[in-house]
Structure formats: structure tokens, C-alpha cells
Amino acid sequence: MHGISLPPNEFGGPWIEALFLNCLPWDEHPYFKSIEGLKASSHLLIRRDGQLVQFVSFNGRAWHAGASNYRGRERCNDFSIGIELEGADDLPYEPVQYRVLAETIDALCRAYPTLSHDRVTGHSDIAPGRKTDPGPAFDWALLRRLLAERLRGSAVS
């Protein structure tokens, strides 16, 4: 799980997509100069309005985690699916983003048996001291509740 906004704390616009497609115009905003040359990608982006955008195939490697470690396993880009939420560490995410996120995680877990609801983690947890996203404004309890509801719902059907 990641949080991203470009420029920081500004939402909407084409900048996140441009970054992930390696065509961000570095001269368009003063902040972009500070990240000039950055190459990053993600499997998915969930915009503030809940729109889901896919950049990388789920079977392909995205460059979202950087130097990272999950449960003793390094290089998380090699084995994880990166989901970016348009947001900022200290600003609340939108309710629709949580709903789309839970639906997406549930669908991925059904499609890929090696994934599970209880292994969803934040960028800050796999790269502590280096990354802070999705940040303290991210409501982990809400996400866990939505995922649990989806599990209960699939057990009934």
C-alpha cells in the first residue's frame, strides 16, 4: 500500500500517471525538479474518486517498493503487487478509495492464491525510516473491516 500525490498534497491532474509512464515534464512544477530522473511504477492507482488505473500487469514487476523487506524477504518488487492511493500521509483518504481498495484486494486474493488479506502492508512497514506512506491518515481498521466483510460475504455465497 502506498500513498502518492503530485505535487505533494495536490490531487487530480495527469502527474501521477505521467510519473508512472516515465513522461513527467520536470519543468512543469518546481517540485518536479526535486524528483527529476525518478523512475517508478505501480501495478495500480486508486484515484480520489475511486477510479482504478492499471499500469503494470499483475504478473510483471513494478518499481514501487525500492529497498524493502517483508518478513525477512528483501526486494519486495520481485514478489508483491503495488497499489497506490492518491493521497497524502496526513490527509484522510476518501471512503470510495477504501471500498475500491477492498474490492481489488479481494479480487487479487481470489485470482492469486499466494496472496491473502492478512498480508496487506504499508510502504512504511517494508521500508521503515525511508518511507512513511500511506501515512497516519490511512485507516487500517476500516480496510480490515471491509476485507473481513468481503470474506464473510464470499463464505455465504
Share of the chain above pLDDT 70, in %: 97
Which residue in 74, 73, 66, 79 sits closest to 123, CA to CA?
66
In the numeric block, the cell 455465504 is attached to 156
Is 10 annotated as catalytic?
A: no
d(CA 148, CA 157) in angstroms, rounded, equals 15
Tens digit of each residue's pLDDT (9 = 90 or more) over 15-24: 999 999 999 9
Where do the domains of the chain lie, and which CATH numbers do they carry? 2-156 (3.40.80.10)
The predicted-structure confidence for 19-73, as pLDDT tens digits, reads as follows 999 999 999 999 999 999 999 999 999 999 999 999 999 999 999 999 999 999 9
The one catalytic residue in 74, 84, 94, 103 is 84
